[in-house]
Amino acid sequence: MAKPIRRPFAAALAIPILLAACSKNSDAPKAPAVLVRAFTGDGQSGLVGYAVNVRPAIKVTDPTGSAVAGASVTFAVTGGGGSGTGLTATTDPNGVAQVGSWVLGASAGVNKMTASVTASGFAAGQYVFTDSGFAAEYTIQLQYYGNYKPTAAESAAFNNAVSRWQQLVYRHIGTPQLLQDTAGTCGAGEPAVNQTITDLLILASFDSIDGAGKTLAEASPCFVRTGGQGAGLTVMGIMKFDTSDVGALVSGGKLNAVVLHEMGHVLGFGTLWSLGAPFPVVSCLQLPSSPPGTLLDTHFACTGGSANAMAQFDSVGGTRYTGAGQGVPGGQLVPVENCANSPYTYPSCGAGTVNGHWRTTVFGNELMVGFLPSSPALSRVTVASLQDLGYRVNYAAADAYTHAFAAPPAAGAAPLPLGDDIRHGPLYAVDPAGRIALVRKRQ
| pLDDT at site 308 | 95
Collapsing DSSP states into helix, strand and coil, what is residue 341? coil
| CA atoms of 264 and 140, how far apart (whole Å) | 12
CATH 2.30.42.10, domain 35-134, yes or no:
no
> How many angstroms separate the CA atoms of 28 and 240, rounded?
79
- Supply the pLDDT for residue 413: 54
Q: How far apart are CA 19 and CA 11, in angstroms?
A: 14
**Average pLDDT of the chain?**
88
What's residue 414's pLDDT? 59
β 234-242/200-207 pair status: parallel
- For 197-227, b/e burial (b = at least 16 CB within 10 A) is bbbbbbbbbbeebeeeeebbbbbbbbbbbbb
Q: Where are the domains of the chain?
A: 35-134, 140-440
Rounded to whole angstroms, what are the CA distances from 363 to 224, 263, 267, 382? 29, 19, 21, 11
Neighbour count for residue 334 (Cβ, 10 Å): 29
What gap in Å lies between CA 162 and CA 158, rounded to an integer?
6
146: CB partners within 8 A, 6+ apart: 189, 205, 206, 207
Residue 14 pLDDT > 80: no
CA dihedral 335, 341, 346, 349 (to 10 degrees): -40
For residue range 43-65, what is the model confidence (pLDDT) as tens digits? 999 999 999 999 999 999 999 99
Q: How far apart are CA 118 and CA 110, in angstroms?
A: 26
Confidence at 442, pLDDT banded by 50, 70, 90:
confident
pTM (2 d.p.): 0.88
pLDDT in tens, 367-417: 999 998 888 999 999 999 999 999 999 999 999 998 877 655 555 555 788
Give the model's pLDDT for residue 1.
47
Q: What is the DSSP string of 377-393?
A: B--HHHHHHHHHHT--B
Which band of pLDDT confidence, cut at 50, 70 and 90, is reported for residue 210? Answer: confident
Q: For residue 213, what pLDDT band results from cuts at 50, 70 and 90?
A: confident
Q: What is the mean pLDDT of residues 95-106?
A: 98
Q: How long a stretch of residues is the chain?
A: 443
Across 186-205, average pLDDT: 94
What pLDDT was estimated at residue 352? 87
The model's pLDDT over 323-369, given as tens digits with 9 standing for 90+, comes to 654 444 444 689 999 998 766 788 888 888 999 999 988 898 999 99
Higher pLDDT, 104 or 341: 104
Could you give the 3-state DSSP secondary structure of residue 279?
A: coil
- Kindly provide the residue ranges of all beta strands, DSSP E only, lying in 42-176, ordered along the sequence: 45-47, 57-61, 72-79, 83-85, 88-90, 96-98, 101-103, 109-118, 125-134, 140-144
Q: How confident is the model at residue 420 (pLDDT cuts 50, 70, 90)?
A: confident
Which of the two residues, 395 and 5, has the higher pLDDT score?
395
Phi (first) and psi of residue 392, to 5 degrees: -95, 120
HSE of 401, CA atoms in CB hemisphere, 13 A: 25
Residue 20 pLDDT class (50, 70, 90 cuts):
very low
Q: Please report which helix (H) or strand (E) contains residue 398, including its range.
A: none
Q: State the number of CA atoms in the 13 A half-sphere of 56 facing the CB.
A: 37
More confident call, 105 vs 339: 105
Beta bridge partners of 239: 204, 219
Instruction: List, in sequence order, every residue forming a beta bridge with 45; answer none if it has no partner.
Output: 132
Average pLDDT over residues 224-242: 94
Which H or E run contains 260? helix 255-267
